[in-house]
A and B are shown apart, each in its own frame.
Chain A
Amino acid sequence: MLAEVDVFIGNHTFVDHEIFQLWIEGNSAQEAAVVLQQRGALQTFPGATSDFLLADVCDHYRTYVLLEKLLHTPPRIFEQWTFQMDSQTQRMLIDHFYEFDDIVMREILGNKLSTRHRKDLDKITETTGVNLRSCRRQFDNAKRIFKATEEMTGSMHQNIKIHFLLSEELAKKYCAVVFIAGYRFETNKKKLQYLSFIDFCNCAYALMQHWTSPIMDDNSTADIEREFLVDLRELRIILEKEKEHKALVCQRLKNRVSDKIFAELDHNFKVYSRTLINLAYSLHHNKSLKELFVDLVEKYIEPCKHLHWTIAEMKVFLEVYSDAASQLDVVRSQSHLRSVLKRFMDGISMCLLTMYHN
């Protein structure tokens, strides 16, 4: 007896975590029922058949589909009469709905968040093995949050938290996603493939922390400060004092890095320094900014890897390099330049250190 209609509705909407998770993961109702049956859902209820389970799953699924519309604007969950839930469940729904797989989001990052790219999701499914429906949800969520917060002023983190009621941590992750998507940072080049979503997240945090406007007011945005990028050109002056700079660096690095690296620096300080300063010089071009991560890998990380720098050595070097530069008379005398240098070096160091791994 195939039921044409089989609908169960309670006054309170009960969200079964397990079924909701299966839905979130993009399983069809049939698939979910099979999974649940394998997990022994029928064993607790003598006499239950698989069609009972399927009917139950379908009830839940229909509820989730109806809920999905509300979940697109999470605050509506709290101001509606249709689904009665306790606030704990409501939060759980939102959190789980906006939860994403890092590997999927890593792939999405490289794509433009527009409907045009939605069809490219098959590829993501192929590479990640995550269900297409789930990929779509993750893509749509990212796109939705991006679209909603793109034009907003104020702290992006706060904006996401307020408008999507996400948990602190999840909101932070979305900040990174929106930030990276907003500047269209190149993340998909082959050379960048070894980087995980978390790496990009941390890089984004670094840039957001150091490169956005330091003044926090109502008009502040999550954008990289344009003036700062322009000012970065002035760092070229450091190259002019290369000898002085090198001396300071080497003096301070002595005994803090291996002899091999010390020798390398002694020999090639110019290369290292120029890579960094030239990068800073070019960042006011949008294209260079987009290619930031590629440049870092190609011009800095790969050579370092080749020479077997340890991460500790890199850390020390970057610290010392930045310090020494600010000690240069030309820099020390200009407090503005000093702060530009610090912001640049802080941001770039964090990126480099994050990205320096295999």
Chain B
Amino acid sequence: MPGKVKVRVVAGRGLPIMDKSNDTTDAYVEVKLGQVTYKTDVCRKSLNPQWNSEWFKFEMDDLELQDEPLHIRLMDYDTYSANDAIGKVYLDLNPLLINSTKTKDNWGKTISGWLPVYDTMHGLRGEVNLIVKVELFSDLNKYRQSSCGVRFFFSPQVPEGFVAHSINGFVEELVINDDPEYQWIDKIRTPRASNEARQTLFQKLSGEVQRKVGLKTLELGGNAVVGYKQCIDIEGESGLVIRGIGTAMYLTKLSENQLSPVPLIEGASKESPIPEEYVEPTAAASCAIPNNTNSSHNPASSPPKRLGSPQKPIPSSTHSTSGGNGFYGDHHESKSSGQMYNGNSGSGSPEKGGGAAAASTPNTKQSNYGQMHRRSSESDLSTTPNTKGGGGPTFKTQFQRPFVINVDPIRGQEFPFITLSSQFPENFIRYLGGTVTARSVKLLKSIGNFEEPSPETRDGWWNEIRIEMRSHCRAFGCNVLLDYEEKTTMWDEVAILSASGTAAIISTSGNCGDVNMSELGDVNNKDGHKRTDSFTGVVQLNMGARSSPKISRGRYDDSDELEYPCRMLHIPQPSLSLPTIIRKSRCAYCRKGKVPDVLVATIDLPPGLHTTGRSCLIQTQVFRSKKESKGEVGAKEMSDSIPFLEYELHRRLINKLKVQGLNAIFGYKVQITQGDKVVVGVATGTAVFLTALPVPSIPTICAGNLKTDAQKVLQFQKVIQETFERNREIFGVNNIVLPNWGDINGSTSDGESDDELDNSHEAKDTFVLEVDDAEDIDIITMLIDQAIPVGYNMSNIETIVGFDGRKVLSQQMFNQVWRCKIATISQRQLTAYFERLIRLVSFKLRRLQPCVFTRMHFTIDLPESDEMQLTVIGMALGLDAKMHQVSLPSTSGKIGELGKQDDDPDIIFQFDEDKTKLGISCESSAENLASSNQTHHSTPPLSAGLPQKVPHPLSSPTGASGLSGGLQQTKISSGTSPVTASVNIALPLNVSHGHGNSSNVNLPLGETGRNRSHSVFCARHPNSNSKSTRFISFIKPMPLPVSKMRHWVEITPQKSINGAKIERYLGNLNFYFIRETTSLRESGGVNTFVHALFTDFMAIVRAHTSALGGNAIVSYFMTRCDLSDLSKCVINVGGDAVFVSYPVHHPEDGIAIG
């Protein structure tokens, strides 16, 4: 597909004065793409030149179009001396390549607007107005190396407005190049030329990686890469590496008419309710297929492969309507397609060997394919007995963003990794295992002497890690890793490669569990790494695994019970022998399954999980000093050190979690940073209280040796105890109200749980803190977090628990960079720095309070031996000070979803009605819950009971069971009526998913039984009054800091914008900035320099978004903020450019969370 690019340079404005003698500039523009350069006329003596150039036309190969950014360079003309550079604009053309053919609407076809001109030495220097258009011609060459048409999403979820048909597999790519900074030529270049060469290379490599990832996606039959992550490793002398990973998926756009309310149909097997709507998208999809194949991105470059996946949705649709029996056909269908795929890729490898694109060595490839073949054959074997209807694929349509997943292809993959982290459809996750990480320490020097840097070595390294990860995943008995992520940290020549993810069992049409289990054996052989020391470890194994999916399936499906939302927490029975001991207890939610006592996962809180109280940010920091050893010795030391570091991090985190009185961590991230003398680990997560999991026990302190004062121990114990109690109150988990599933016999469940509890008491050792010396005391004191300022709630995930129903009045994405000299560092100090940082940020955002911070991302860097730099990025959401619908316990409310509710005027109306009905400030749950119909039934009797606190034994995890007073009974009678009754409710499509979350307020009828019990929950929450008053106490008459500036560009690290609906994704933007200054003092000092740097690149990001026709950036990230040498910085930022629409009505009301 060659393409034609047309560029017109219209005008410039605000240019700098280049000619000091007469305070003007004689500017002209060079436009360069590939090897072709055009120039405009010189516009004399103007700081606001009008060029109105002709259309410059470039004819390019699409390969180049994907790799090469368009260079626009502004120059100042000088008659006698050399022309001076004013600055440059790099324009990534990829967003224009997505659907530049055959789409009728004009979106994403041109880039037009004012773009800031950037100079690496001076920052922003005016703006230039451009119009850029791309025309692509169809080319069905099967050997092509471009991947135009594959869409990329940084957002780790199925993009809004798209239907996911299949997850086709994990895609990764890596390119390596010499770093111009370290080449001889750098010595004779000007700093500007050097920086620009580097920045150009970054952009180019970035485009190349993305193109190659796209190619792999096409090979897998996908048309999009979701959860794409791209990283740059600046290794120094050994080169620079850009890596990209993502999840290949097949997506189709959900057309508008499908967004109408859709009735839900309970399937014959209640286990997988298949919404009728499912038929529509598939039908649409099947129509869309011919289109797609014709259009740019789906040419018959490899016809057999491609055939496999797009066809799948069609058979699926048949089975989904026909119910259980239909599964037979489908199974075979997808199986065979899977085979077909495998076969093809196998045979495809030789032909690909010729292509330079192949990243991994032929050898590994061969063996991989071997594995695949074997695997698929095994899966075939095991499929046959298993094709009974119950285990059918959970095709689930989300209300907002249908997510019709065929995960079949991923089973054939070498690595069953999924880079998505949130918005999984209901029932997609069958079981949540826990966090899996693997790390490996490598010595960069060892490959430094190659003439041409080749990607093989790096590929090999990552391959090792991925194999390791896969085996860990299987050790859990899980079939996929969700939120898979790869990171590196470097210091000198020592690189730490890390991978992390959440092991899970996802529902597939087959029984991957078996497959994986049978393969467990052969993957476990880790080859020793000779030259480099390698450490790998598994952490956070708090969860069990399932030995056989069949059993669990029998458990849930055959018993004809309703599906508990807590199911994904249940440890499959009987549990497999796991590498760690797991304490199990009876699921407090349904009283049926067995659950672990703690869950740690990297993913966002999955919708549907019931939580109590509020969430909070939880973080621990640990450092270890290291010798100043270099090379081999240094690597060895690092490799020896990391396991201890990681263990310590985990231990503290879990203890902290216990002290907080919470029992699960989501969004768990660990960053390990090497410095000159120390290595620092920071673990961050969002702690919540999962109702299903038991109440944590308080860590006990015991004297490790005789010298320790017994009195002191008692004293500490008391402090811990008090903190625990206090925290439980703060987070609203001191009174956990458990549902009573009317049909369960209380006495039996009690009996059973007693057994479990006994078990757990035996294995209590995790929570014993031994006090041996001062250091241990330090640890204990550090367990007690400084209380987060009142009016703030923080999390590093998108879901904020416990604030449903609050209106978001203002939004502010924030960056805070903090750096200081540290002579010596103590453990306590390190923690103090972080705590201070959080308080500082809170203080600086005090005008927004009450507010919540979401997606906080912390980075620690140790640029110099005596310097430390902390960075935090996040999203602050200013809430309405009033509790509209006071709410506390709830299922996970997706903040992102807010706007959709507002879309529906009915709902708003309904809220009001509810408010009046509820009257009392019952700190009930989510707006949605409170407003769901059931509340109408259940509230009146409740309101009477509300003010008085329900006597509730705090310490006993089972105490809640004793609660069932008369109140509860009444509710149940109103609520839990025949659960299985056909509750075909028309859900408004724009309402978020998740049963608890269903704000199906406007429904005439009840929802499923589940929801009823939810509402029962929330309405009864006893300590509501105290909480609401606490919130109201800090209402401040502060003016609204951020009004709704809809004509501006919203930037958010979240995946969606609160209160807005994403209409279009306009492409993924990825920017690299280099900024240098010759004199920090001249540029106003370090702070001013950094400040200007940040404002500059954010301006560029906004301008590019706007030029694409967007008004927001979602999933914004800053993967690299290299300020180590403050006079020279490298920054990598990016996100998905989107166009969002805001609801027109009630602008003052803000947007509700929930």
Check A56–B1099 contact: CB distance below 8 A.
no
Say which one of B499-507, B841-849, B931-939 lies at the interface with A. Answer: B841-849
One digit per residue, 1 when the CB lies within 8 angstroms of any chain A CB and 0 when it does not, for chain B 1110-1131 equals 0000000000000100100000
Instruction: Flag if A63 contacts B1091 (CB, 8 Å).
Output: yes
**B1090 near A52 (CB under 8 angstroms)?**
no
- Is A86 within 8 A of B1043, CB to CB? yes
Q: Are A82 and B1096 in contact (CB under 8 A)?
A: yes
A8 touches B1095 (CB 8 A): no
Interfacial chain B residues near A17, Cβ < 8 Å? 1039
Interface residues of B in 1029-1059 (CB under 8 A from A): 1036, 1039, 1041-1043, 1045, 1048-1052
From known contacts A5-B818, A16-B847, A62-B1088, infer whether A44 and B1098 are also in contact, taking CB-CB under 8 Å: no
Contact A46 B1102 (CB under 8 A): no
Which segment, of B92-100, B167-175, B807-815, faces chain A?
Answer: B807-815
User: Does residue A40 face the partner (Cβ distance < 8 Å to B)?
Assistant: no
Contacts of A65 in B (CB 8 A): 1084, 1088
Q: Closest CB-CB distance, A147 to chain B, in whole Å?
A: 11
Partner of A1, one of B816, B820, B1041, B1090: B820
Q: What separation, in Å, do the CA atoms of A81 and B1016 have in the docked complex?
A: 49
Selected from A14, A56, A82, the residue in CB contact (under 8 A) with B843 is A56
Is there an interface contact between B789 and A66, defined as CB atoms closer than 8 Å?
A: no
Tell yes or no: B53 within 8 A of A by CB.
no
Q: Mark A2-20, 1 if CB is under 8 A from B, else 0.
A: 1111111111101011000
The answer to whether A76 touches B14 (Cβ under 8 A) is yes
Q: B1094 within 8 Å of A by Cβ?
A: yes
Whole-angstrom distance from the CB of B314 to the nearest CB of chain A?
44
Contacts of B1086 in A (CB 8 A): 4-5
Closest to B1041 in A: A14
Complex partner residue of A5 from B833, B869, B1048, B1099, CB under 8 angstroms: B869
- Count: A-B pairs, CB below 8 Å: 141
Given contacts A3-B819, A7-B1087, A66-B1095, contact A47 B840 (CB under 8 A): no
Asked if A219 is at the interface (CB within 8 A of a chain B CB), the reply is no
Q: Which of B813-842 contact A (CB under 8 A)?
A: 813-822, 833, 836, 839-842
Q: Does B1092 contact A (CB under 8 A)?
A: yes
CB-based nearest B residue for A86 = B1043
Compute how far the CA of A59 lies from the CA of B1087 in the bound complex, rounded to whole angstroms: 9
B1098 touches A9 (CB 8 A): yes
Which of B844, B1043, B1102, B1103 is close to A56, meaning CB atoms less than 8 Å apart?
A: B844
Determine whether the beta carbon of A11 is less than 8 Å from that of B1103.
no
Contact with A along B107-144 (1 / 0, CB 8 A): 00000001010000000100100000000000000000
Q: Are B839 and A47 within 8 A (Cβ)? A: yes
Is A83's CB within 8 Å of the partner chain B?
Answer: yes
A17 to B1038, CA, bound (A): 11
Would you give the shortest CB distance from B357 to chain A, in whole angstroms?
37
CB neighbours (8 Å) of B843 from chain A are: 45, 48, 52-53, 56
> In the assembly, what is the distance between CA of A52 and CA of B836, in Å?
10
Residue A80, interface by CB 8 Å:
yes
B867 is an interface residue with CB less than 8 A from chain A = yes
Q: Bound complex: CA of A10 vs CA of B845, how far in Å?
A: 9
Is B1100 part of the contact surface with A, judged by Cβ < 8 Å?
Answer: yes
Shortest CB distance B384–A (Å): 55
Given the interface pairs A44-B1036, A52-B840, the reply to whether A7 lies near B1048 with Cβ below 8 Å is no
Choice from A7, A46, A62, A79 contacting B816 with Cβ under 8 Å: A7
Any B CB within 8 A of the CB of A130? no
Set of chain A residues within 8 Å of B1045, measured between Cβ atoms: 12, 84-86
Residues from chain B with Cβ under 8 Å of A14 in the complex: 812, 847, 1041-1042
**Nearest chain-B residue to A67 (Cβ)?**
B1095
B839 close to A62 (CB less than 8 A) = no
Quote the shortest CB–CB distance from B1100 to chain A (angstroms).
7
Which of B14, B841, B1102 is close to A84, meaning CB atoms less than 8 Å apart?
B1102
Given A2-B820, A16-B847, the answer on whether A45 and B1098 have CB atoms closer than 8 Å is: no
Q: How far is the CA of A46 from the CA of B1100 in the complex (A)?
A: 37
A88 beta carbon closer than 8 Å to chain B: yes
CB-defined contacts of A2 to chain B, threshold 8 Å: 820-821
In the assembled complex, the Cα of A10 lies from the Cα of B1048 at a distance in Å of 14
A58 at interface, CB cutoff 8 A: yes
Interface centre among B127, B816, B833 (most CB of A within 10 A): B816
Task: Check A3/B1088 contact, CB under 8 A, given A10-B814, A45-B846, A88-B1043.
Answer: no
**Minimal beta-carbon separation of B1153 from chain A (angstroms):** 19
Q: Which residues of A contact B1106 (CB under 8 A)?
A: 81
Q: Which of B787-811 contact A (CB under 8 A)?
A: 789-790, 811
- Max chain A C-beta neighbours (<10 A), residue from B846, B1042, B1051, B1096: B1042
Q: How far is the CA of A1 from the CA of B844 in the complex (A)?
A: 18
Q: Which of A3, A11, A53, A83 contacts B813, CB < 8 Å?
A: A11
A55-114 residues at the B interface, CB under 8 angstroms:
55-56, 58-59, 62-63, 65-66, 76, 79-86, 88
Give CA–CA (A216, B137) in the complex, Å.
60
Once the chains bind, are A82 and B1088 in contact (CB under 8 Å)? no
CA distance A56 to B836 in the complex (A): 14
Residues on the B chain within 8 Å of A5, using CB: 817-820, 869, 1086-1087, 1090, 1123, 1126
Task: From the candidates B114, B840, B1051, name the one contacting A79 in the complex (CB within 8 A).
Answer: B114
B204 interfacial contact with A, CB 8 Å: no
Residues of A within 8 A of B1048 (CB): 12, 84
* CB atoms of B815 and A12 under 8 A apart: no
A157 to B1090 CA separation, bound complex (whole angstroms): 40
Query: Do A62 and B1099 touch (CB < 8 A)?
Result: no
Nearest-neighbour CB distance to chain A for B1053, whole angstroms, equals 10
Name the distance in Å between A1's Cβ and chain B's nearest Cβ.
5
**Cα–Cα distance between A63 and B1088 once the two chains are bound (Å):** 9
Bound Cα distance from A134 to B931, whole angstroms:
56
**Complex-state Cα separation, A297 to B928, whole angstroms:** 77
Known contacts being A4-B821, A55-B844, is A62 close to B1091, with CB within 8 Å?
yes
User: Restricting to B1-43, which residues have a CB under 8 Å from any CB of A?
Assistant: 13-14
- Interchain nearest-CB distance for A232 vs B (Å): 40
In contact, B817 and A12 (Cβ under 8 angstroms):
no
Chain A, Cβ-Cβ closest to B1084: A65
For residue B14, which residues in chain A have a CB less than 8 angstroms away from its CB? 76, 80
Chain B, residue nearest A46 (CB): B789
- Contact assessment for A8 and B820 in the assembled complex, using a CB-CB cutoff below 8 Å: no
> In the complex, A56 Cα to B1087 Cα: how many Å?
12
Q: With a 10 A CB-CB cut-off, give which of B817, B1087, B1096 has the most chain A CB atoms.
A: B1087
Given contacts A45-B846, A65-B1084, contact A8 B819 (CB under 8 A): no
Residues in A neighbouring B114, C-beta threshold 8 A: 79, 81
Write the nearest CB–CB distance from A183 to chain B, whole angstroms. 26
B1091 partner residues in chain A, CB cutoff 8 A: 7, 9, 59, 62-63, 66
Closest to A2 in B: B820
B294 nearest CB across to chain A (Å):
39
Assembled-state Cα–Cα distance A161/B711 (Å): 76
In the complex, chain A residues whose CB is within 8 Å of the CB of B1088? 62, 65
Given contacts A8-B815, A14-B847, A44-B846, contact A84 B820 (CB under 8 A): no
Contact with A along B848-881 (1 / 0, CB 8 A): 0000000000000000000101000000100000
A91 to chain B, nearest CB (A): 13
Kindly list 8 other residue pairs between chains A and B, CB separation below 8 angstroms, not including A79-B127, A81-B116, A86-B1045: A1-B833, A4-B819, A5-B819, A5-B869, A7-B815, A10-B812, A46-B789, A81-B1106
Can you list 25 A-B pairs, Cβ within 8 angstroms, ordered by A?
A4-B820, A4-B821, A5-B819, A5-B1087, A6-B840, A7-B1090, A7-B1094, A8-B816, A9-B815, A9-B1091, A9-B1094, A11-B812, A11-B813, A11-B1052, A12-B1045, A14-B812, A45-B846, A52-B839, A52-B844, A55-B844, A65-B1088, A80-B127, A82-B116, A82-B124, A83-B1095
Q: Across the A-B interface, give the 3 residue pairs with the lowest CB-CB distance, nearest first.
A: A5-B819, A81-B1099, A11-B813
Q: Write the residues of chain A forming the contact surface with B, with a CB cutoff of 8 angstroms.
A: 1-12, 14, 16-17, 44-48, 52-53, 55-56, 58-59, 62-63, 65-66, 76, 79-86, 88
